[in-house]
């Protein structure tokens, strides 16, 4: 874990495998139950450590939750750093959409925690996050739009901020649709697939790209 | 309240104003704290009724939560019934986007509860919702796309289900961005507005419409 804004120094001193295990157990608990319903005693028991030890590593359940989200931000930052803006706007966008889709399979729990952290019940807590996750994403979009407008691939008259917001909304909901049971059901209802039928992922990706191309591309 | 799948018969027998008051208090509590952190004793106290009375109206906290969501589905159904598909696809879509934006101001609590109900921690509960809310929305999109393709306003080769899913993702996130503190901050970061500056709502609506028109419109 990088940073360490949310844990106490004692946590840095323990065995790295033990550190990773504690964060993994916390991630699993928070993901399946949500912040409010997760019991810190139960969590310590599942991690095989005493509640005293846990509080010597993290000042509160809130701090532990924020440490897990920070781990998620590290993951996102690492994944996004693989996108190369020089590859062209729509090619990067396709890579981004496919990455989001796969992230839902690779890190379902981080996605579930992210969704949980956006609810109004946790708004006080969210204020402590300093929005690192969103800032990292926004920065990538800025670069992609600047490169796309400079190369003439994108229309010169679009406002990159508004466009990035709408695009990312599509990507976030796609990710939720593959990591939360509720949104999975919703997707099936909206798309209109029957029992035993699967949603066609390529069609989804194409639809997102078509919307971006149609609105922002210099040529349709 | 229509239906009444989630309350006991005793609830139908009490004064309508008292019924509305209890649901209003429950809505406020669930919206600000989320399902898991809402205490049923606290809720009864705020409504000025005994916990015994509350349990005579609703079998569980879960049933009360589902009754509030059902009230939200009634509201959505009423709002959506005002959309007239014969007005043309993009004109209806603009009305829908603007309705979503205003619903965030008019019913912030229903939006906050909806967001809460989509988290993985509440997935067992969400299964009891039978997705009425999503089914109502999906049905409207089916009608809008059918009318738009029949009139030639929309491209004949688009798949209405996938298109509806993507469009509704934009609308849902727009609504969250005006009803959850987290998403409000995220929107400001993505759009890139500075302190004291406001996000331009008309630009947001235009962006959503441009994406729809570019991807689904027969003419750009």
Residue of chain B whose alpha carbon sits nearest to that of A184: B118
Q: What mean pLDDT is predicted for residues B80-90?
A: 94
Contact residues on chain B for A191, CB-CB shorter than 8 A: 161-162, 164-165
Q: Which of A160, A135, A142, A147 is nearest to A85 (CA)?
A: A147
pLDDT at site B4: 62
With respect to residue A12, please indicate whether it lies within any of the assigned structural domains: yes
Q: Identify whether A74 is part of a domain.
A: no
Determine, yes or no, domain membership for B48.
yes
Which residues of chain A lie closer than 8 angstroms to B189, CB-CB? 131, 134-135, 138
Torsion of the alpha carbons at B74, B79, B84 and B89, rounded to the nearest 10: -110
How many residues in total does chain A contain? 220
pLDDT value at position A128? 83
Q: Which residues contact B109 (CB under 8 A, 6 or more apart)?
A: B27, B28, B30, B31, B32
| Separation CA B162–CA B167 (nearest Å) | 9
Pair A91, A199 in one domain: yes
What CATH number is given to the structural domain containing B21?
1.10.10.60
Q: Is the pLDDT of residue B204 over 50?
A: yes
CB B100, CB B168: distance < 8 Å: no
Residue A131: closest C-alpha in chain B = B186
Same structural domain, A19 and A86: no
CA of A155, closest CA in chain B: separation in Å?
Answer: 12
pLDDT at residue A220 above 80? no
CB–CB contact B170 A172 (8 Å): no
Query: What six digits make up the tokens of B183?
Result: 């998403």
* Average pLDDT estimate for B32-50: 97
Question: Which residue do the tokens 């009230």 mark?
Answer: B71
Q: Which of B109, B118, B197 to mutate to test the interface with A (most CBs of A within 10 A)?
A: B118
**pLDDT tens sequence across A11-56:** 999 999 999 999 999 999 999 999 999 999 999 999 999 999 999 9
Beta bridge partners of A217: A154
Q: Please tell me whether residues A152 and A195 are part of one structural domain.
A: yes
Most B-contacting residue of A175, A215, A219 (CB-CB within 10 A), to test interface: A215
* Whether residues B17 and B98 fall in one domain: no
In a domain, B77, yes or no: no
Would residue B73 count as lying in a domain? no
Q: How many domains does chain A have?
A: 2
Pair B211, A169: CB distance under 8 Å: no
Asked if residue B202 and residue B165 are part of one domain, the reply reads yes
* CATH number of the domain residue A142 falls in: 1.10.357.10
Instruction: Select from A116, A160, A169 the residue whose CB has the most chain B CBs within 10 Å, as the one to mutate to test that interface.
Output: A169
Choosing from A39, A69, A99, the residue where a domain stops is A69
Closest by alpha carbon to A131, among B182, B194, B177?
Answer: B182
| B119 to A176: CB separation less than 8 angstroms, yes or no | no
Residues B153 and B129 in one domain: yes
Q: Per the domain annotation, does B153 fall within a domain?
A: yes
Bridge partners (DSSP) of residue B154 are B217
Give the mean model confidence (pLDDT) for residues B141-166. 96
Q: Are residues A50 and A157 in the same domain?
A: no
Considering only CA atoms, which of A142, A138, A141, A153 is closest in space to residue A88?
Answer: A153
Rounded to an integer, the average pLDDT of B64-91 is 94
Comparing CB atoms, the residue among B120, B165, B211 nearest residue A31 is B120
Q: Is the CB of residue B61 less than 8 Å from the CB of residue B26?
A: no
- Report the 10 Å Cβ neighbour count for A48: 11
Q: Above 70 in pLDDT, residue B188?
A: yes
Are B189 and A121 inside 8 Å of each other by CB? Answer: no
Q: Which of B35, B68, B101 represents a domain boundary (last residue)?
A: B68
In a domain, A3, yes or no: yes
**Residue range of the domain that includes A59:** 1-69
Tens of pLDDT, residues B129-143: 768 889 999 999 999
pLDDT confidence bin for B1, thresholds 50/70/90: very low
**Partner-chain residue, chosen from A34, A161, A162, that has the shortest CB–CB distance to B36:** A34
Residue B45's Cβ-count burial label (10 Å; 0-12, 13-18, 19+) is: middle
Task: Tell me which DSSP letter residue B130 carries.
Answer: T
Question: Residue B76 domain-assigned?
Answer: no
Please say if the pLDDT value at position A5 is more than 50: yes
Domain boundary among A40, A69, A98: A69
SS (HEC) of chain A: CCCCCCCCHHHHHCCHHHHHHHHHHHHHHHHHHCCCCCCHHHHHHHHCCCHHHHHHHCCCHHHHHHHHHHHHHHHHHHHHCCCCHHHCHHHHHHHHHHHHHHHHHHCHHHHHHHHHHCCHHHHHHHHHHCCHHHHHHHHHHHHHHHHHHHHCCECCCCCHHHHHHHHHHHHHHHHHHCCCHHHHHHHHHHHCCCCCCCCCHHHHHHHHHHHHHHHHECCC
Q: How far is A165 from chain B (nearest CA, A)?
A: 5
B150: helix, strand or coil? helix
Kindly state the DSSP code that residue B1 receives in the 8-state scheme: -
CA distance B143 to chain A (A): 13
The three-state secondary structure class of B219 is coil
Do B149 and B119 sit in the same domain of this protein? yes
pLDDT at B132: 86
- Taking contacts as CB-CB distances below 8 angstroms, the residues of chain B near A182 are 117-120, 122-123, 126
* pLDDT number for residue A200: 97
Q: Are residues A18 and A90 in the same domain?
A: no
Q: Domain check: are B60 and B86 in the same one? A: no
Smallest CA–CA distance, residue B100 to chain A, in Å, is 15
Per-chain mean pLDDT for chain A: 94
Percent of chain B with pLDDT over 90: 91
> Residue B192 carries which DSSP code?
T
Whole-model pTM: value is: 0.94
Nearest chain A residue (CA) to B201? A162
A162 and A55 assigned to the same domain = no
Does B166 contact A211 at a Cβ distance shorter than 8 Å? yes
**Residue the block writes with tokens 């994944």:** A79
Residues paired with A154 in a beta bridge: A217
What's the whole-number mean pLDDT along residues B186-206? 95
Residues B43 and B105 both lie in one domain:
no
Of A172, A187, A210, the CB nearest to B173: A172
């Amino acid at each position: 874990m990088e940073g360490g804004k949310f844990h106490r120094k004692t946590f840095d001193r323990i065995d790295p495998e033990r550190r990773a295990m504690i964060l993994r157990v916390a991630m699993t608990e928070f993901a399946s139950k949500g912040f409010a319903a997760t019991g810190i005693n139960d969590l310590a028991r599942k991690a095989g450590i005493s509640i005293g030890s846990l509080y010597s590593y993290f000042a509160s359940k809130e701090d532990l939750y924020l440490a897990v989200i920070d781990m998620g931000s590290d993951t996102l930052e690492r994944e996004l750093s693989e996108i190369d803006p020089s590859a062209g706007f729509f090619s990067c966008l396709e890579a981004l959409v496919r990455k989001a889709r796969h992230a839902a399979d690779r890190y379902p729990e981080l996605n579930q925690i992210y969704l949980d952290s956006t609810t109004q019940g946790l708004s006080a807590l969210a204020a402590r996050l300093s929005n690192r996750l969103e800032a990292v994403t926004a920065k990538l979009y800025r670069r992609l739009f600047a490169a796309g407008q400079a190369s003439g691939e994108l229309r010169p008259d679009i406002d990159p901020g508004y466009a990035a917001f709408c695009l990312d909304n599509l990507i976030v909901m796609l990710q939720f649709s593959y990591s939360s049971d509720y949104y999975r059901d919703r997707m099936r209802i909206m798309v209109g697939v029957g029992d035993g039928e699967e949603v066609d992922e390529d069609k989804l990706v194409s639809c997102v790209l078509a919307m971006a191309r149609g609105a922002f591309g210099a040529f349709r």
